[in-house]
């Protein structure tokens, strides 16, 4: 039983039971000046892939989803961590657990990211890191898929 008939270039027809639509996905990054330009260079999404590269140095983490707090619990294995809430909520019990893991919780908003991985806060104070992590949301690359 065939479920799909596909016409390629108007000249060749292909029939199939299944098709794979491989459009890829895109990461939705937080709207922070300088973040996009550093994505994949000094700002990452996976500590298992990039944590060792930071050589137990200073690590920043920008809260951007519910998964961010979980990542904040993991990151101390790879270095000293500053967790930027950047307007995201944080439950009191989670905050206590993070403090127990020696995670610094930064409540001042981020204004921009400059140089290799320096966070400029809303009050213009600067904090420099070996690298920064951010949890992302993925979306399908093609609108017509929805």
- pTM of the model as a whole: 0.83
Which helix (DSSP H) or strand (DSSP E) does residue 50 occupy?
A: helix 47-50
Give Cα 22 to chain centroid, integer Å: 22
Q: How many domains does the chain have?
A: 1
Q: 3 in a domain, yes or no?
A: no
Residue 115 has pLDDT above 80, yes or no: yes
CA dihedral 126, 68, 139, 51 (to 10 degrees): 70
Structural domain that includes position 77: 26-145
| pLDDT tens digits along 38-79 | 999 999 999 999 999 999 999 999 999 889 999 999 999 999
| CATH code, domain with 86 | 3.50.50.60
Report d(CA 25, CA 27) in Å as an integer: 7
């Amino acid at each position: 039983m065939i479920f799909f008939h596909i016409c390629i270039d108007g000249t060749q027809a292909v029939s199939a039971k299944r098709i794979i639509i491989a459009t890829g996905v895109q990461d939705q990054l937080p709207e922070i000046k300088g973040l996009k330009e550093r994505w994949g260079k000094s700002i990452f999404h996976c500590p298992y892939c990039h944590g060792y590269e930071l050589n137990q140095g200073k690590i920043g983490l920008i809260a951007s989803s519910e998964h961010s707090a979980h990542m904040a619990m993991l990151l101390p294995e790879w270095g000293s961590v500053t967790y930027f809430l950047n307007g995201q909520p944080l439950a009191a019990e989670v905050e206590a657990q993070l403090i127990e893991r020696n995670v610094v919780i930064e409540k001042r908003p981020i204004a921009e990211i400059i140089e290799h991985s320096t966070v400029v806060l809303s009050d213009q104070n600067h904090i420099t890191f070996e690298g920064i992590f951010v949890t992302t949301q993925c979306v399908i690359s093609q609108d017509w898929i929805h």
